[in-house]
Amino acid sequence: MDVRFKIAPSGISVDESGLKFDISDFDGYAVEAALQIKEKQADPAASEVVVISLGPDVVQETLRKAMSMGADRAVQLKYDGPIHDSYAIASALAAELKGGSYDLVMFGRMSIDTANQATGTIAAELLGLPIITAISKLDIEGGRVKARRELEGAYELVECPLPAVVTIDEGIARPRYPSLKGIMAAKKKPLESKPAQVGEERYKLDKMELPPERAAGRIIGEGKDAVPELVRLLKEEAKVL
Amino acid sequence: MTVHLADPDHNTSFTKGVFLGEIRESLVFPFPELSSEEKENLAAILDSFRAWAKDNVDSAKQDHDGHFPDNVRSGMAELGLMGMNIPEEYGGFGASAMMFNRVFGEIGATDPALTVYFGAHQSIGCKGITLFGTDDQKKRWLTKCASGELIAAFCLTEPGSGSDAQAMRTTAVPSADGKSYTLNGQKIWISNAGYAGVFTVFAKVPVEIDGKPKQRVTAFIVNAHAPGVSLGKIEEKMGIKASDTRAVTFENVVVPVEDMLGEVGHGFKIALEILNSGRLGLAAGSARGTRRILDIALGYAKEREQFGRPIGSFEMIQRKFAVAAAECYAADAGWMLTASMVDKGGIDFSLETAACKVFASELAFKSSVDAMQIAGGIGYSKEFPYEQAVRDSRINMIFEGTNEVLRALIALSGLQQPGEHLKAIGKAFRDPLHSLGAIGSFLGERVKRQVVKPSFPHAHPALKDEAEQIATVVHDLALGVEKLLIAHGKDVIEHQFQQERMANVAIDVYLATATLSRASWAINKAGGVDKAQADLDNAKIFIPMAMRRARRNVRALERNQDARMKSLAERALETGSLTVAAPTDS
């Protein structure tokens, strides 16, 4: 069934009724890249992929999906209110990640719903770790990240020591489809839920608006005779000529 | 052997009760629900399948090419779907019938040929091993079937043996040392034959009974790559073209005795049991396929304008959608209710799966023809999905038991108990002095049945009239059945005009009952009629429509033109033509 995209009465969030949430595309690439790194290790069982999401209980479904793809465990940083400032989100993630002995923290390049792309960068800064953004190819060699970043008509190869933060662009890997076995296994994997230590929001969202609806079309006439009138209207009314 | 089979002495049946004038309401109320865990699992599986199918399955291209690309087959295996209804201990997912058939439906709505691949493998191909295999057989074969490493196929039909499985010619002769059987014969129309690594094969084994040589149908698990197995060319079919259908020939194929499935002589029962549950998938697939093609037609009817308005606003188009919606509602209710019977166990669902398959397969074909009609000229074009839907849906009325054979199965199985009952009474009448008790209770039952109608105490009050209509039909059918049996006795087996009518009544009664149960559940769940208007509308259209048909069929048990119908048909058969002399003849 089609669900129409609507803004909630508050005017600063989306009406979520009937909407189904899924992993943001870039986060999906990040999960897949993480799983592939793990699978490439000499002893895959010795490394661990953990997925973390901040949000209300509905994110548990998303975390479960990442675990059905193969992630080992999940953490929900529970937060029910609307949140917009990347700094506030990043500070909650950094609080969770601090002291977690992670070698690599992977973010999607951006969230596709709000087009927000600062969270990973701010988290790296708060954690005091190096960051490489918008990676399209990634290798771990000798304790270092070797990454490729796509530029307009070119690319650059960069590297930095672990531990590090990276944000993942498309093209790195298509996320795998959860298998029936993965789905069942995910149900037994640990999903920890704890309150998010959200930092101060330093900007506020004032208002969301849908683009104005297009006016209905008008038929001016048929054949050659209608052309002068059409040109006049395009000039005077629509002002496009 | 554990017999899972439909056995009226052990397992109760809703439809067999209908032939006796009974409504066994506890078998059909309340409407089944999924647990929240099952719901989550199902949502995750469907999400994953849809995402994969969107990226990988191109139904029109596969139809055109006549085969699946490799990534489609490998993808199905990687998703774990090829082991969906294989038990977990043998590497499968161990899905309930409810889950399995829902996913079957989803695959069917995505690409019918792909469901044939999926269903021929585990609904029938290796289902026999799941149901009747020893632990050793399951370990050796099922685990590989579950991973998709081995694809299974079901080999029953032969050139001279289709619906009549007893006419089978394939033989399996035991070796002198008793260590193996040698298989010879040919099977045709074998779905998945070209992909198969393992076959379930039915063959006749020579045995001696009371000193006389006999042949007994027996099931075998056969390595598809064993020496002596050869495949025919791919059949060019009207629809489900990407599915691989071929003849399979067995020439002195040696089958180790460890691969006999069940016991000698149990093959026929095993085949029936496999098909009894297997055909429910076709019902679920047909129902969902119906919805898919009508959804496409709905989109078109909203867009396409004639006389300045969308054609969907015209009532001739609306009638098609309304009837299809109500019938789809019933078909879905039917397979879901039946799946819950399969899952509960201890219930004979053999006639219900047959009823669902007959109803849904005819619905899918009719609806795809309607969808094509709504689409007009473009419906006939290969650029649009309608004509493929017409071709693909047609097979469901033919395979896994033709709808004619299934109707005969429903009628004759339904008549069994009333027939036995009357036979006992017949004997009693011949010796009335010693059987007064039996005659008394028979007459008493009869009087009671005339006065006390069966009912549905748990139907929602808003559907009271509809419930009564069904109950009246059940009551009248039983009376009609009794008269028929008194008139014909066991010769009723020859009266297929009547069998078809009785079967149609039983099918309509079952689908109407499933609809009643589903709508009652929906109204209760929503907390009122006003909150479940769509359910109410569907039930109030479907049940009276089906019961009008049923009443007509019940009446026709007594008043019909069967003799004239027979003479028309026999004249045509004799002359080999339908032609009657006409003024325009030349």
Question: Taking CB atoms and an 8 Å limit, are A180 and B84 in contact across chains?
Answer: yes
For residues B81-97, average pLDDT: 95
What rounded mean pLDDT belongs to chain B? 93
Residue B8 confidence (pLDDT) above 60: no
Q: Which residues of A touch B (CB under 8 A)?
A: 22, 64-65, 68, 177-184, 186-187
Domain ranges of chain A: 25-195
Nearest CA in chain A to B76: A179
Probe site for chain B from A63, A180, A184, A188 (most B CB atoms < 10 A): A180
Tell me: the pLDDT tens digits for A59-97? 999 999 999 999 999 999 999 988 889 999 999 999 999
What is the percent of chain B with per-residue pLDDT over 70, rounded to a whole number?
Answer: 94
By C-alpha distance, the chain A residue nearest B79 is A179
Say how far apart CA B102 and CA B95 lie, in whole Å: 10
Cβ–Cβ gap A68/B48 under 8 Å: yes
- What mean pLDDT do residues B323-327 have? 97
Q: What is the pLDDT at residue B458?
A: 96
Higher pLDDT, A11 or B290: B290
What digits encode the pLDDT tens for the residues B517-553? 999 999 999 999 999 999 999 999 999 999 999 999 9
Rounded mean pLDDT, B12-36: 95
A23: chain B residues, CB-CB within 8 Å: none
Query: Which CATH number is associated with domain B153-268?
Result: 2.40.110.10
Q: Do B47 and A68 touch (CB under 8 A)?
A: no
Domain with residues B14-151, CATH architecture: Orthogonal Bundle (1.10)
Q: Which amino acids of B are annotated catalytic?
A: 400
Count of pairs with CB atoms under 8 A, one residue in A, one in B = 41
Interchain proximity A178–B48, CB inside 8 Å = yes
Residue B2 has pLDDT above 80, yes or no: no
**CATH number for the domain whose boundaries are B270-402:** 1.20.140.10
CA nearest B503: which of B401, B369, B379, B359? B359
Numbered ranges of CATH 2.40.110.10 in chain B:
153-268
- What are the tens digits of pLDDT across the range A184-221? 999 999 999 999 999 888 888 888 888 888 877 888 88
Bridge partners, residue B207, by sequence:
B214
- ipTM score for this prediction: 0.83
Q: Which fold has domain B405-563?
A: Butyryl-CoA Dehydrogenase, subunit A; domain 3 (1.20.140)
In the numeric block, which tokens belong to residue B293? 């093609």
- Contact list in A for residue B52 (CB cut-off 8 A) is 177
pLDDT on residue B284 = 97
CATH class of A25-195: alpha beta
> Is 80 exceeded by the pLDDT of residue B5?
no
Measure A122 CA to nearest chain B CA, in Å: 32
* A53-66 residue pLDDT tens: 999 999 999 999 99
Tens digits of per-residue pLDDT, B167-205? 999 999 999 999 999 999 999 999 999 999 999 999 999
CB of A25 closer than 8 Å to CB of A109: no
Residue B455 makes CB contacts below 8 A (sequence gap 6+) with B23, B467, B468, B471
Binning pLDDT at 50, 70 and 90, where does residue B433 land? low
Residue B425 has pLDDT above 80, yes or no: no
* Mean pLDDT of the B266-280 span: 92
- Please tell me which residue of chain B has the smallest CA distance to A21: B47
Confidence of residue B66 (pLDDT cuts 50, 70, 90): very high
Q: How far is A182 from chain B (nearest CA, A)?
A: 9
**B492, B426 in Cβ contact below 8 A?**
no
Mean pLDDT of B405-419: 93
Check: CB of residue B340 under 8 Å from CB of residue B265.
Answer: no
The pLDDT of residue B3: 47
Query: Which residue intervals of chain B bear CATH 1.20.140.10?
Result: 270-402, 405-563
Mutation choice for A interface testing from B47, B88, B93 by most A CBs within 10 A: B47
In angstroms, the CA B184 to CA B328 distance is: 44
What Cα–Cα distance (Å) separates residue B367 from each residue in A180, B170, B323, B360, B372? Answer: 32, 39, 9, 10, 8
| B93 contacts on A by Cβ (under 8 Å) | 180-181, 184
For CATH 1.10.540.10, list the domain ranges present in chain B: 14-151
Q: Which of B37, B45, B75 sits opposite A180 (nearest CB)?
A: B45
Residue of B nearest to A22 (CA): B47
Answer yes or no: is pLDDT of B497 > 60: yes
Q: Which of A65, A177, A183 sits opposite B41 (nearest CB)?
A: A183
